[in-house]
Structure 1
Amino acid sequence: MPRLFLYFYFMKTAQLHSIFLEFSEICTDTRKIKENSLFFALKGDNFNGNKYASEALKNGAAYAIIDEKEYATSDKHILVDDVLMALQKLASFHRNYSNAKVIGLTGSNGKTTTKELINTVLSKKYRTIATKGNLNNHIGVPLTLLSIKKDTEIAIVEMGANHQKEIEFLCSLAQPDFGYITNFGKAHIEGFGSEEGVIKGKSELYDFLIHNNKHVFMNADDSIQFQKLGSYIKKYGFSTNQKEFYKIEFLGANPFVKASVEGYVIESQLIGSYNFTNCAAAILMGKYFNVPLDKIKTAIESYSPKNNRSQIINHNGHQIILDAYNANPTSMTAALNNFSQMKGKHKIAFLGDMFELGSIASTEHLNIANLASELNFDETVLVGENFNRTETNLKKYSSFNNLKESLKDNPLPPKSLILIKGSRGMALERILDYI
């Protein structure tokens, strides 16, 4: 057990890890403290976890890891130079301590759905862990790595980024043995600077794998991935038409994605053709890791989307495609085109602002408004400051509150088919309370 006021530069990461092995539950929020957990007193722009370390101990934490000496008041406080860095180093140490194979996953769209599909497939044969929710940043990835258990065989680690070098850093922590990029789209342009910047930033996963002679999974029909990986030997891809890659046939999405592989027809619960590649990636990895095809089929067909991601729900007589977890020009275009192919008595699209687009925000919101006009739904409703500034004849509201008041006064036609799509900050799932 640590002495009073242990310093990280005296304590080796291995020593902190030995404590972690005894108390392996990690907490960063005193409101969610579990008995005999380790509390890491992280800091943010508007909070200082050091101030709550003693409270964490009172609530049952075994130790509190802090980085401000004034808060070290007992031998249950472990003082380190930097709490976040200590967490990251501990996670990297634990990843290398474990025997688990790590699959790194990134991309502009579909990361979380693909991660869940891969986990569902691989768990049919292996003991797996996967990123919870979208905890995919410089804090979430370490927490995922620290959730690897002694018997874990495969860990699926989602990696998110909105700037250059972020994926490179996350790879340095996770040290993936395998990796897959879902796609390259117009997301986080504000941070990446351009579409080329997005490609460069997301490709840091493939760069790491190639440099370290690791295995790469790919969508061989994606021209960017195909060109990026070139003649790299340790690549395994799926394709709808290229014979040298594993063939997975797309059978349509009316509305649910259906695919064929080696004579098996797989009918998913995911809407939209854009979800085909997400399913195909999970099928490919299942095949690579020798999961029987009948179990792959069962896994894909049993997966049901949650958390506002391409969910189809029935609500007060309406059929609703709830896709309000996130949005960027690429995913918004795909969602609108898919919605245009669906049959419905009265089709209404509620579209919310797309965030983090930087200098291209005005252009891209206008492009989406124009596309929605061309698709000629029965009604399209734009919500948010960016959409409100577009020159369009579509119905516009500068805020959700304004939309809310309108919905109260103007009920929707019965049995409507409704698309709800927008960035997380718009929280457009709130529309359900008013229709």
Structure 2
Amino acid sequence: MKIEQLHKLYLSCNSVNTDTRKINAGDMFFALKGENFNGNQYAEQAIEKGAKYAVVDEADFANSTNIILVDNVLESLQKLATFHRDYLNIPIIALTGSNGKTTTKELINAVLSKKFKTTATAGNLNNHIGVPLTLLSMNQDTEIGIIEMGANHQKEIEFLCNIAKPDYGYITNFGKAHLEGFGGIEGVIKGKSEMYNHLIPRGKTIFVNANDSIQVEKTKHAQTYSFGNTNSDVTISLIDAQPYVKSKYNNLVIESQLIGAYNFSNIAAAIAIGNYFKVDDTNIKTAIENYIASNNRSQIIKKESIKIILDAYNANPTSMKAALLNFEKQAGTKIAILGDMFELGGEAETEHQNIVNLASYLNINQIIFIGENFFKTSVNTTKASKFKSFDTFKTNFDMSQIKNSTLLIKGSRGMALERVVHAL
């Protein structure tokens, strides 16, 4: 079936779905395959549950008129998304980066939705499946689309840009994330810059943090809209970051509910993009001030005498260092519980030792390292302890000693350190 025909059928459906457990009446079901599952096997079940159409790529399962046979389900999903993007012909803002992507995306969406009907990436559905699903969640009411793009190897951002065809782009930063897949920090810069390589030849606009020398250098021949210092298109300054980030913009003081100076650039990007799209200043202020972090990202949780900074969604050497430097500035007794950082390849041993050395040096009262990588490090301070796994920590650490203190919890997603909150 041609994509044009598939698109007509898609327009008659309520939404796109890839999980039969979440089917709603009128959905179009795409029978994706994975290492341990074959969605083709569930096509008939999807129809029985109310799906209007199911898309399969194995002829044995195309046994009714509302089950559509294509050559490759995933490729059809991606091509349909691109066709739909062209059909809508609306401005698309794409963003990627090593740290802060999701928070920045949520802030941009909060600001722009004060003036426009927006559709943004849900959660962190930012890969080769999530990006098409986001595009296909847009309809003719959508005025601006906001697409988050994640990557852990070369050519992935290029591939996602070819699907989404963004008109605007922003890279939050270039940090030590996914070093194993990208091949070191230079590989990270090259991989993330694929967004620039897509936008610049097409004369599209790139939002640039003027305080980031890599961004400035990489976009010096591009059409840009910059923010940050006084030489930028829009000046935004950091007033304070203790305990929450406070910024100044157009003589307005914006008091966010986000902790850490590292969140300032995320907030500034949202302010600048709001300014570019002529969102009223007071609405920009309201949007930023009302945004509350969730999903284990810089979340503040108060539990009796304990203030918890839960930043356990993910971690890499860059974000871990930023979190620790910010945490040191907190008042009172400070306890850090840090979990392993994943996907560092040959740099894992060095980067984990660097974090141990930094944490041990900082003015933090107690440090707990959890995970196989941290367990291999050399810890030379009495205020630190290490555990090979979360279960070992939970079994051998007396949680009752954590009281009247501020607690930082940070680690890679695979460590699931939000379990510490439940253990408390």
When the two structures are superposed, what TM-score results if normalisation uses the length of structure 2? 0.98
Matched residue pairs, number? 421
Residue 66 of structure 1: aligned partner:
56
Q: CA deviation at 1:99?
A: 3.0
1:193-252 per-residue CA deviation (whole Å, 9 max, x = no partner) reads: 0100000000111111101110110101100011111142x2001123x42431101101
Selected match of 1:379 from 366, 370, 377:
366
Residue 352 of structure 1: aligned partner:
339
Selected match of 1:99 from 89, 96, 103:
89
Residue 276 of structure 1: aligned partner:
264
Instruction: Give me the whole-angstrom Cα distance separating, in 2, the residues matched to 1:153 and 1:427.
Output: 37
| 2:275 paired with 1:287 | yes
Supply the AA of the counterpart residue of 2:145. Answer: A
Supply the AA of the counterpart residue of 1:243. Answer: N
| 2:297 paired with 1:321 | no
Instruction: Give me the whole-angstrom Cα distance separating, in 2, the residues matched to 1:155 and 1:129.
Output: 5
Secondary structure in 2 matching 1:47:
coil
Q: CA deviation at 1:260?
A: 0.4
1:153-189 per-residue CA deviation (whole Å, 9 max, x = no partner) reads: 1000000000111000100010000000000000000
Greater shift after overlay, 106-115 or 23-32?
23-32
Residue 215 of structure 2: aligned partner:
225
Q: CA deviation at 1:190?
A: 0.6
Instruction: Give me the whole-angstrom Cα distance separating, in 2, the residues matched to 1:381 and 1:417.
Output: 14
Matched-pair contact (CA < 8 Å) for 1:313–1:322: yes
Matched-pair contact (CA < 8 Å) for 2:210–2:232: no
Q: CA deviation at 1:410?
A: 4.6
Q: Which runs of 5+ in 1 are unaligned?
A: 1-10
Matched-pair contact (CA < 8 Å) for 1:99–1:152: no
Instruction: Give me the whole-angstrom Cα distance separating, in 2, the residues matched to 1:253 and 1:60.
Output: 50
Instruction: Give me the whole-angstrom Cα distance separating, in 1, the residues matched to 2:82 and 2:306.
Output: 48
Residue 154 of structure 2: aligned partner:
164
- For residues 387-426 of structure 1, what are the structure 2 equivalents within 5 Å? 387-393=374-380, 394-407=384-397, 409-426=398-415
Residue 421 of structure 2: aligned partner:
432
Instruction: Give me the whole-angstrom Cα distance separating, in 1, the residues matched to 2:10 and 2:62.
Output: 19
| 2:285 paired with 1:305 | no
Residue 6 of structure 1: aligned partner:
none
Instruction: Give me the whole-angstrom Cα distance separating, in 2, the residues matched to 1:263 and 1:433.
Output: 43
Secondary structure in 2 matching 1:290:
coil
Supply the AA of the counterpart residue of 2:242. Answer: N
Instruction: Give me the whole-angstrom Cα distance separating, in 1, the residues matched to 2:252 and 2:40.
Output: 55
| 2:232 paired with 1:239 | no
Matched-pair contact (CA < 8 Å) for 1:66–1:78: yes
Residue 7 of structure 1: aligned partner:
none
Residue 361 of structure 1: aligned partner:
348
| 2:41 paired with 1:54 | no
Instruction: Say if 1:410 and 1:160 are closer, same or farther in 2 by CA, change over 3 A.
Output: closer
Matched-pair contact (CA < 8 Å) for 1:308–1:323: yes
Instruction: Give me the whole-angstrom Cα distance separating, in 1, the residues matched to 2:401 and 2:38.
Output: 46
Instruction: Give me the whole-angstrom Cα distance separating, in 2, the residues matched to 1:296 and 1:384.
Output: 41
Instruction: Give me the whole-angstrom Cα distance separating, in 2, the residues matched to 1:261 and 1:406.
Output: 49
When the two structures are superposed, what TM-score results if normalisation uses the length of structure 1? 0.95
Greater shift after overlay, 83-92 or 64-73?
64-73
- For residues 253-272 of structure 1, what are the structure 2 equivalents within 5 Å? 253-272=241-260
Matched-pair contact (CA < 8 Å) for 2:248–2:254: yes
Supply the AA of the counterpart residue of 1:28. Answer: T
Matched-pair contact (CA < 8 Å) for 1:220–1:245: no
Instruction: Say if 1:71 and 1:145 are closer, same or farther in 2 by CA, change over 3 A.
Output: same
Secondary structure in 2 matching 1:395:
strand
Greater shift after overlay, 386-395 or 251-260?
386-395
Supply the AA of the counterpart residue of 2:278. Answer: N
Secondary structure in 1 matching 2:163:
helix
Instruction: Say if 1:100 and 1:75 are closer, same or farther in 2 by CA, change over 3 A.
Output: same
Percent identical among aligned pairs is 60
1:363-418 per-residue CA deviation (whole Å, 9 max, x = no partner) reads: 000000111100141110000110011111431111110111124x4512422110
Matched-pair contact (CA < 8 Å) for 1:99–1:153: no
Instruction: Give me the whole-angstrom Cα distance separating, in 2, the residues matched to 1:412 and 1:306.
Output: 27
Matched-pair contact (CA < 8 Å) for 1:33–1:59: yes
- For residues 27-38 of structure 1, what are the structure 2 equivalents within 5 Å? 27-38=17-28
Instruction: Say if 1:254 and 1:376 are closer, same or farther in 2 by CA, change over 3 A.
Output: closer
Instruction: Give me the whole-angstrom Cα distance separating, in 1, the residues matched to 2:334 and 2:188.
Output: 33
Q: CA RMSD in A?
A: 1.0
Instruction: Give me the whole-angstrom Cα distance separating, in 2, the residues matched to 1:324 and 1:406.
Output: 21
Q: CA deviation at 1:429?
A: 0.3
Instruction: Give me the whole-angstrom Cα distance separating, in 2, the residues matched to 1:57 and 1:268.
Output: 46
Supply the AA of the counterpart residue of 1:196. Answer: E
Instruction: Give me the whole-angstrom Cα distance separating, in 1, the residues matched to 2:311 and 2:164.
Output: 30
Q: Which runs of 5+ in 2 are unaligned?
A: none
Supply the AA of the counterpart residue of 1:351. Answer: L
Supply the AA of the counterpart residue of 2:329. Answer: Q
